[in-house]
Structure 1
Amino acid sequence: MWYGAPNLSDIITANFLAPQSFALYGYDAGVLGGVQHTKPFLSAMKNPTGAYVIPMIASSYTLAAAVCALFVACVGMPLGRRNCLLLGNGLVIIGGALQAAAWSVSQMIVGRVICGLGIGFISSTTPTFLAEMCLESEQRGPDVASMCIWLVGGCAFAYWVDFGFTRMDNQVSWRVPIGLQTIFALVSGSGILLLPDTPRWYFARNRDDEGLKVLSRLYDLSIDHEQVQEMMETIRTSIKLEEQDEHRFNWLDLFWDRSDLKVGRRVRISFLILSMQQMMGINLSVYYSTVIFSQVGLSPFLSQLLAAIMNTLFATGTVFLPFTIERFGRRNILMYSAVGLTICMAIFVGMISQAKPTLGMQWTAVAFVVIYNFIFGYGWIGVCWLYGPEIAPLKFRHIGGAAGAFGEWLFSFITVFAGGIALEKIGWRIWIWMLLSCAAAVPFVYFMCPETTGKSLEEIDLIFATQSVKDSRLASELIAHTHHKQGETGSIIHEEKV
C-alpha cells in the first residue's frame, strides 16, 4: 500500500522517473555494440571464436526479455504497474553488475539474461504506467512520446560513452560503460518507491479508496471535487462495460476474435506493431552500427564516430514527436514515416549492393542510413510503444503491453542474433528483408490501426467494440461521463474500420 507522496506532483515525478527505466533499454541496446569488438573486451571473454558467439552475447538479453514479457502477461495485473517497474530495476542492477565484472562468455551471458528479465518487466509496464497516469487524452501521447526520448537517448549516450572510453586500451574501457546502466536503475527504482500505482489499476483491483486518493493527488483537488468524482465514475463505467462483455475474451480470441470488445484483435495489433518495428531493422542498425559502417568501407575510427553521430540523430528524431503527435495523429505519423523509411532503405541497399562502390556511393549510403534512423526515431518508436497499451481494455492492458514487448523482444532477438550472423555471412543482402518490412508497414497501418488521437483510454473501448456494445446503456453512460468531464457535447462514437 502507498502511504505517502512526494512534495512534487506525482504525475510530473512519474513522467521523469519512469522514463529513466526505459533509458535502460536504449542504453543496454547500444552499450555492447560499441565495445564488443574491442581488444580488451575480447581478451576478457577469452577471445571467443565462431560466428555465433558475439551475436549470442548481444542477443541473449533480448530473448530473456521476450520470455519475461510473456510472464508479465500472466502476473502483470496482480503485481501492479509499480511493482513490475521496481522488480525490473532491481534485476537490472544485479545483471549490470555481473556484466561489468565478467571474465568469461558464460558469466557475461548470465548477466545479460538477468538484465534482460529486468528490461522485460520495464518495457512491458512503463508505457502502460505513463498512459494510465494521464488524466487528459491530449497529454497521453506527448507523455509516452517523451518517454521514448529517454529510450533512444540512452542508446545515443551509450555510443558516446563507448567512443570516449574505447580510446583507452585496458579493461576499464568496456567495464565502466557496461556498469553505468546500474545508475539508471538505481535512480529510477529509488524514485518509483515514492510513487503510488496508477488510479486505473487500483479501481480495476477493487481498491476504490486508494484509486480515489491517487486521482485526488493527481488533480490536486479534494476527493469530493466534481472533477475527481467524474473521472472515478468514467473509469468505473469502463470497467463495468468490460465486465458485461457477453462473449468474454479467452486466449483463442488471439487467433479468431469473437469477444464483444475485440480484445483479441487489440492484443494482436499490439504484438504486430512492435514486431514489425523490429523487422524494419532498427535494432540491427543500433547493435551493429560500427559493423555497418566498416562494411561500407570506412576506417574503424570513422565507423565508431559515425555510429555515435547516427545514434545521436536517431535520438534527435524522437524529440519532435511529443510536440506533433496530437496534431498529426498516430496513424498518419506511422504511415507516412514508413513511406520515408522505405525510400531511405531502398537507396541504402542500392548503394551498398555495388561490387565496387565509389566514394560517392559510400557516403550516399551513410547519408541515407542516418536519415533512416532519424525518421525511425520520429515515427516508429514513441507511437508504437504508446499504441498497444492505449488500445487495450483496462483489465487487459497488462496483456496488451506485454504482447507488444514480447513482439519487440522476440523479433529483436531474431534480428540481432540472426542478423549479426547474416551481416558476416551474406553482408548487404540482409537489408533486403528490412526494406520489404518497411514497405509492408504502410498497408498494415492503413488497414489495421484506427486513429486514437484525442480520445480517452475509456473512449477507445468504443472504437473497437461491436455495434451492440456501442448501443448499450453503459456505453451511453460512458459518453455522458466523458462529456461532463470534458465539458463537451455530441457523440464520440465513430464508426471506424478496425
Structure 2
Amino acid sequence: MAIGTLQGRALYKVMSTCCALAFCLYGYDAGVLGGVQSTKPFLDAIGNPKGTYIIPLVASSYVLAATVTTLVVMWIGLRLGRRRCIIIGDIFVIVGTAVQASSFSVAQIIVARVICGTGIGFISCTVPTYMAEMSIESKERGPEVAKQCAWLISGIALAYWLDFGFTRMDSQVSWRFPIAFQAAFAGTSLALMLLLPDTPRWYYAKARNTEGDGVLSRLHNKPIDHPDVMLQRQEILMSIRLEEEEMNRFRITSLIWDTTDLRAGRRIRIAFCLLAIQQMMGINVMVYYSTKIFADMGLSDFLSQILAAVMNTVYAAGCWVLPFTIEAFGRRHIMIGSAIGCTVTMLIFVIMIALPHPTDATQWIAVVFVIFFNFFIGYGWVGVAWLYGAEIAPLKYRHIGNASSAFGEWLFSFITVFAGGIAITNIGWKIWIWQLLSCICAIIFPFFMCPETGGKTLEEIDFIFVKGGDGRDLSSGVTSGKEEMEVSQEEKV
C-alpha cells in the first residue's frame, strides 16, 4: 500500500518511524565524534592539531551551528512548516556527512560539522512538534514524543558501540565509516518524509483548511463529518481564533514581560529554561567526553571505551522506561523525582573522584554512580523536557516554543561542551560542582514553574496558562463548543 493512501494507525506509525530515524540521527551525530576524536587515525587525518582548544572547537562547532539554526527556525518555522523543516534538516546532514567523512584537515571537519549542525538544528526544533501535532488522543502524545527522544539517546549509544568496534582497527576506515553511517538515517528519513503530509494543525494555522481536513480525516480514519473529527477540528480552529485576538498576539517583549491572556511569552521562557537546565546538569559533557571522563579516573583506554559505551547505553535505557510511565506519573513529578536522583548520584560521584587518595573501591563507586546519574537524567530530563516545551506553546507559536527549547539545549550545550572540554583538562573534578548545583535547580524549577499537562489535548493546555478569570471564561468556550457538538449530533439522531 502506498504511503499516500495510508490511514489511521498505519499512517501514524510511518510518521513515527520517519521521526524516530531523524531523532536517532540527531543522537548518533552528537555521539559519533566522541568515540573517535582521540584516536591516532583521526588525529593523523586532520594533521595532529596541537593546543587545548582545537578538539573542543571541532566538537562544539556542530553545537554552535545548531544553536544559530534554532534562532532561524523561530522566524521561518511557521512559514516553512513542520514537514519542510525536517526535509531541509535531512538534506543538510547528508551533505555535511559527505564532507565530514572525507575530511583531511581541521578546517574541513569544522565546516562539515557546521553543515551537519545546521541540519540537526532544523530536526531538533521540529520533530517533537510534528509528532505532538499529529496526535489525535491526549494519552498518546506523551508516550510518542518520549519514544522519539528514546531513539535520540539510542543513537548516541549506537554511535559509541560502533566507534568501539571500528576503533579496534588501525586505519582511516576506523573513523570514516562510523561518521559516514549517519547518512543512512538521514537518507531513509528524507525518503519517507517526502511522502508524508504536514500536520493538520499547521494547515489550519495557515488557513489551508481543506488540506487540514484531509490529514485530520486520515489520522482518525473517519470521514471529515464524523463527530470525532469535527470536534477536534472545532477545538483547533477555536484555539487559532483565540491566538489571533489582538490582546493575545505574541510580541518579542512578551519574552520579558508578558501581559497577554494566553501567557505565550511565559510558556516560551519555560520551554527555553527546561532544556537549558538539562544541559547545565552536564549530560552533553558526558556524551562528548565519556571516554576521557573514565580515563581521568585512571582506567585504561580499552576499559574507558567500554564503560563509555555502557554508560550511554544505560542513558538510553532510562529514556525507554519513560514512554511506559509518563502518563501514569505525570510530567512534573517525573522531572522533580529524577532531578532528586541526579542530585544524589552526582554528589556521590563528585565525592569519590575528589578524594585525595583514591582506591579501586572509590574508583568503581564513582563509575557506578555516574552511570546511575545517566539513567536518571535519561528517564526524567530528555523526553519530558522536549515534550513539555512542544505541548505548552500555543499553536501559531509552537515553532517558536520548540525552537526556544532547542535554542536552550544548543546554547548551553555549546557553553558546557566547549568550556567543559577545557575545564576537564585544566581543573579536573571541580567542573562537576557546576553540574551538581544545576541538578538542585532542576528540582526547584519544575516545582514552581511547571503545571501538569498530562491527560489534556494541546488545545486544553492553553487554559492551564491563561489568567485566572479569563481562563475560566475561555475554557467555557471550548466546553460550550463540545456541548453544541453533542446537541447537534443528538438532533441528527
TM-score tier by shorter-chain length is over 0.9
- Within 5 Å, give how 1:390-429 maps onto structure 2: 390-429=391-430
Measure how far apart 1:161 and its partner are.
Answer: 0.2
TM (norm. structure 1) is 0.95
Corresponding position of 2:359? 358
- Within 5 Å, give how 1:36-185 maps onto structure 2: 36-185=37-186
CA contact (8 A) 2:318 2:377 kept: yes
Corresponding position of 2:269? 268
Measure how far apart 1:467 and its partner are.
Answer: 2.9
Q: Quick one: structure 1 residues 470 and 296, their matched pair in 2 at CA, closer, same or farther if it must change by over 3 Å? A: same
Instruction: Give the percent of matched residue pairs that are identical in Structure 1 and Structure 2.
Output: 57
SS of residue in 1 equivalent to 2:478: helix
Could you give the per-residue CA deviations for residues 179-218 of structure 1, whole angstroms, max 9, x where no partner exists? 1111100011111111100000000000001000001100
SS of residue in 2 equivalent to 1:196: coil
Measure how far apart 1:245 and its partner are.
Answer: 4.9
CA contact (8 A) 2:352 2:366 kept: yes
Corresponding position of 1:199? 200
Measure how far apart 1:485 and its partner are.
Answer: 8.3
Corresponding position of 1:4? 4
CA contact (8 A) 2:126 2:402 kept: yes
CA contact (8 A) 1:241 1:475 kept: no
Q: Which amino acid aligns with 1:48?
A: P
SS of residue in 2 equivalent to 1:4: helix
Corresponding position of 1:303? 304
TM (norm. structure 2) is 0.96
Instruction: Please identify, of 196-205 and 476-485, the stretch whose mean Cα deviation from structure 2 is larger.
Output: 476-485
SS of residue in 1 equivalent to 2:247: coil
Q: Give, in whole Å, the separation in 2 of the partners of 1:25 and 1:418.
A: 22
Q: Which amino acid aligns with 1:123?
A: S
Corresponding position of 1:243? 244
Q: Give, in whole Å, the separation in 2 of the partners of 1:6 and 1:191.
A: 13
Q: Give, in whole Å, the separation in 1 of the partners of 2:189 and 2:79.
A: 22
Q: Quick one: structure 1 residues 486 and 149, their matched pair in 2 at CA, closer, same or farther if it must change by over 3 Å? A: farther
Q: Give, in whole Å, the separation in 2 of the partners of 1:4 and 1:15.
A: 15
Could you give the per-residue CA deviations for residues 403-448 of structure 1, whole angstroms, max 9, x where no partner exists? 0000000000011111000000111110000000001111101001
Q: Which amino acid aligns with 1:332?
A: H
Q: Quick one: structure 1 residues 36 and 462, their matched pair in 2 at CA, closer, same or farther if it must change by over 3 Å? A: same
CA contact (8 A) 1:283 1:415 kept: yes
Corresponding position of 1:209? 210
Q: Which amino acid aligns with 2:267?
A: R
CA contact (8 A) 1:5 1:194 kept: no
Count residues with an aligned counterpart.
484
Measure how far apart 1:389 and its partner are.
Answer: 1.1
1:323 aligned onto 2:324: yes
5+ residue gaps, structure 2, are 488-493
Q: Give, in whole Å, the separation in 2 of the partners of 1:4 and 1:302.
A: 49
CA contact (8 A) 2:242 2:248 kept: no
CA contact (8 A) 2:91 2:190 kept: yes
CA contact (8 A) 1:349 1:428 kept: yes
Q: Give, in whole Å, the separation in 1 of the partners of 2:268 and 2:233.
A: 25
Measure how far apart 1:10 and its partner are.
Answer: 1.9
Corresponding position of 1:257? 258
Measure how far apart 1:137 and its partner are.
Answer: 0.4
Instruction: Please identify, of 240-249 and 177-186, the stretch whose mean Cα deviation from structure 2 is larger.
Output: 240-249
Could you give the per-residue CA deviations for residues 159-187 of structure 1, whole angstroms, max 9, x where no partner exists? 00000000000100000000111110001
Corresponding position of 1:386? 387
Q: Give, in whole Å, the separation in 2 of the partners of 1:265 and 1:486.
A: 34
Measure how far apart 1:355 and its partner are.
Answer: 2.1
Q: Quick one: structure 1 residues 148 and 483, their matched pair in 2 at CA, closer, same or farther if it must change by over 3 Å? A: farther
- Within 5 Å, give how 1:271-282 maps onto structure 2: 271-282=272-283
Q: Which amino acid aligns with 2:58?
A: I
Q: Give, in whole Å, the separation in 2 of the partners of 1:97 and 1:435.
A: 39
Q: Which amino acid aligns with 2:93?
A: V
5+ residue gaps, structure 1, are 488-498
Instruction: Please identify, of 343-352 and 22-31, the stretch whose mean Cα deviation from structure 2 is larger.
Output: 22-31
Q: Give, in whole Å, the separation in 1 of the partners of 2:301 and 2:10.
A: 48
Could you give the per-residue CA deviations for residues 79-100 of structure 1, whole angstroms, max 9, x where no partner exists? 0000000000000000011100
Could you give the per-residue CA deviations for residues 299-358 of structure 1, whole angstroms, max 9, x where no partner exists? 000000010111111111111100100000000000010001000000000000112201
CA RMSD in angstroms, aligned pairs only: 1.5
Could you give the per-residue CA deviations for residues 118-176 of structure 1, whole angstroms, max 9, x where no partner exists? 00000000000000000100100000000011100000000000000000001000000
1:454 aligned onto 2:455: yes
Q: Quick one: structure 1 residues 444 and 177, their matched pair in 2 at CA, closer, same or farther if it must change by over 3 Å? A: same
Q: Give, in whole Å, the separation in 2 of the partners of 1:295 and 1:185.
A: 35
CA contact (8 A) 1:22 1:147 kept: yes
Measure how far apart 1:373 and its partner are.
Answer: 0.5
CA contact (8 A) 1:127 1:389 kept: yes
Q: Give, in whole Å, the separation in 1 of the partners of 2:177 and 2:485.
A: 51
Q: Give, in whole Å, the separation in 1 of the partners of 2:429 and 2:237.
A: 54
Could you give the per-residue CA deviations for residues 232-290 of structure 1, whole angstroms, max 9, x where no partner exists? 11111111111225253210110111111101000000000000000000000111000
Q: Which amino acid aligns with 1:62?
A: V
Q: Which amino acid aligns with 1:466?
A: K
Could you give the per-residue CA deviations for residues 11-57 of structure 1, whole angstroms, max 9, x where no partner exists? 11111111211111210111100000000000001000000000000
Q: Which amino acid aligns with 1:37?
A: S
CA contact (8 A) 2:6 2:218 kept: no
Corresponding position of 2:337? 336
Q: Give, in whole Å, the separation in 2 of the partners of 1:470 and 1:430.
A: 44
Q: Quick one: structure 1 residues 371 and 63, their matched pair in 2 at CA, closer, same or farther if it must change by over 3 Å? A: same
Corresponding position of 1:476? 476
Q: Give, in whole Å, the separation in 2 of the partners of 1:144 and 1:484.
A: 32
Corresponding position of 2:35? 34
Q: Give, in whole Å, the separation in 1 of the partners of 2:170 and 2:4.
A: 49
CA contact (8 A) 1:203 1:236 kept: yes
Q: Quick one: structure 1 residues 482 and 143, their matched pair in 2 at CA, closer, same or farther if it must change by over 3 Å? A: farther
Corresponding position of 2:444? 443
Q: Give, in whole Å, the separation in 1 of the partners of 2:38 and 2:486.
A: 56
